[in-house]
């Protein structure tokens, strides 16, 4: 009875999947994508329209008199920041829901029982959150191209791709961390309202930090969202308030990559430990 060949099943405790479980990873990824795509009006189009309203309001309020920032009109200056801000916020929203909903509804076992390693679980769920972020970003970019005065020609495509992905990955990792820690939706809402929203709005989306006092400039440079938004804007405009040289932008890009690696390692260790997931 204990022999592995009997009945065609391996012996108890003998692994069947020796490398990456690509099928399981793809299945979980598609499950998460289909979950948010079934309600795409709420998860893609509504956030895009809400973010687009910022462009309407701020260009009407501050762009009437031909105001220019970094050598371009205000609408063109603010558009890239709004795009990547919408991407980050929706990456967080997607990643912070799954584990939390599973814990509250008692369906967390659906994530823990399949033969997926902690790394595969992270990869599938972060990839789904990044997919939603990219879709929101594309919807926003398409809408903003139709807005009078907005010009979205890319000066450095690598920066658009890198900073966009790094921002979405960072917020998807933070979203998963939040869903591990949270025990009810109020906890998730608290992180959204008191951490994510302030960091997004105070990251230089609507201004350059050179206009701030030195103390507030120093605080802004401690905000990782600032580097995402300024680097993403650099990809479109070829200019940034990260620094006066392209080397400064490159340092910001490498710093974001390192930050994502650190957050991913912390999340991996917590998943391995079963913190707040396994009794």
Q: Which residues does residue 68 pair with via DSSP β-bridges, in sequence order?
A: 73
- pLDDT at position 191, please? 95
Q: Which residues does residue 45 pair with via DSSP β-bridges, in sequence order?
A: none
- pLDDT at position 98, please? 81
- pLDDT at position 14, please? 60
- Whether residue 264 lies inside any domain: the answer is yes
**What distance in Å separates the CA atoms of residue 65 and residue 21, rounded to the nearest whole number?**
57
- pLDDT at position 138, please? 96
- Whether residue 3 lies inside any domain: the answer is no
**What distance in Å separates the CA atoms of residue 16 and residue 6, rounded to the nearest whole number?**
15
- Whether residue 259 lies inside any domain: the answer is yes
- Which DSSP string do the residues of 135-192 spell out, in sequence order? HHHHHHHHHHHTSTT-----S-HHHHHHHHHHHHHHHHHHHHHHHHH-SSHHHHHHHI
Output b/e per residue, 161-189; b: 16+ Cβ within 10 A: ebbbbbbbbbbbbbbbbbbbbbeeeeebe
- pLDDT at position 65, please? 61
- Whether residue 2 lies inside any domain: the answer is no
- pLDDT at position 146, please? 86
- pLDDT at position 25, please? 93
**What distance in Å separates the CA atoms of residue 232 and residue 154, rounded to the nearest whole number?**
10
Closest CA to 206 of 31, 48, 85, 28: 85
Q: Which domain holds residue 264?
A: 21-61+68-273
- pLDDT at position 244, please? 63
- pLDDT at position 64, please? 58
- Whether residue 103 lies inside any domain: the answer is yes
3-class SS of residue 256:
helix
DSSP state, residue 68: E
Indicate the number of domains in the chain.
1
Helices (H) and strands (E) in the chain, counts: 12, 2
Q: Which residues contact 111 (CB under 8 A, 6 or more apart)?
A: 28, 98, 99, 102, 121
- Whether residue 278 lies inside any domain: the answer is no
Closest CA to 217 of 202, 231, 228: 202
In the chain (279 residues long), the average pLDDT of successive 10-residue segments reads 54 69 93 94 93 85 70 88 95 91 86 90 96 96 87 92 97 96 92 93 87 86 94 92 82 96 96 83
- Whether residue 158 lies inside any domain: the answer is yes
Looking at the whole model, is its pTM more than 0.85?
yes
**What distance in Å separates the CA atoms of residue 137 and residue 86, rounded to the nearest whole number?**
7
- pLDDT at position 2, please? 45
């Amino acid at each position: 009875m204990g022999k592995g060949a009997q009945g065609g099943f391996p012996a108890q405790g003998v692994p069947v999947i020796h490398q990456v479980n690509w099928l399981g990873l793809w299945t979980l990824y598609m499950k998460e994508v289909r979950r948010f795509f079934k309600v795409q009006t709420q998860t893609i189009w509504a956030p895009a329209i809400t973010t687009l309203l910022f462009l309407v309001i701020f260009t009407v309020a501050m762009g009437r008199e031909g105001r220019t920032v970094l050598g371009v009109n205000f609408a063109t200056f603010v558009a890239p920041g709004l795009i990547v801000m919408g991407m980050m916020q929706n990456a967080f929203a997607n990643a912070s829901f799954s584990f939390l909903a599973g814990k509250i509804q008692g369906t967390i076992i659906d994530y823990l029982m399949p033969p997926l390693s902690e790394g595969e679980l992270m990869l599938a769920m972060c990839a789904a959150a990044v997919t939603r972020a990219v879709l929101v970003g594309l919807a926003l970019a398409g809408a903003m191209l139709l807005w009078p005065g907005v010009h979205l020609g890319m000066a450095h495509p690598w920066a658009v791709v890198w900073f966009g992905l790094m921002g979405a990955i960072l917020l998807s990792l933070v979203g998963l961390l939040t869903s591990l820690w949270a025990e009810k939706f109020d906890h998730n809402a608290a992180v959204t309202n008191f951490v994510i929203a302030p960091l997004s709005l105070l990251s230089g989306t609507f201004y350059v930090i050179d206009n701030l006092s030195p103390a507030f400039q120093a605080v802004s440079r401690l905000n990782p969202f600032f580097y995402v938004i300024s680097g993403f804007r650099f990809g479109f405009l070829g200019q940034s308030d990260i620094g006066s040289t392209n080397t400064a932008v490159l340092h910001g890009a490498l710093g974001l990559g390192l930050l994502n690696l650190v957050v991913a390692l912390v999340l991996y260790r917590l998943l391995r430990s079963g913190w707040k997931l396994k009794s």
